[in-house]
Amino acid sequence: MNRYMVEVTLSGVDPNQFETLAAREQEVVAELTQTGFIKQIYVHNDLSGAYLVVEERDESYVRQQFNRFPLFPYMTLKLVQLQN
């Protein structure tokens, strides 16, 4: 398994939809944390993004998992593979 640091930046989210999407986002985060995909998560103070440490076999699978996030259409992702 490989570890990746994922920098997530959010932009263009409709403020009227943010709370609803964020609540659903937390459900996905909880599930992916429980399955061991998400190892650590650090959310920006202003909620404009986050840093996640995730563990998976390859980068394409990591990107597939982020497609599940309700806020994904508003995300820019930057992945860096970490040294084991």
Sketch the domain layout of the chain as residue ranges: 2-82
Residue-wise pLDDT for 38-84, tens only, equals 999 999 999 899 999 999 999 999 999 999 999 999 999 999 999 98
pLDDT of residue 84: 80
The answer to whether domain 2-82 has CATH 3.30.70.1060 is yes
The pTM of this model reads 0.90
Measured distance CA(62)–CA(9) in Å, rounded: 16
Residue 28's CB is within 10 A of a number of other CB atoms, namely 17
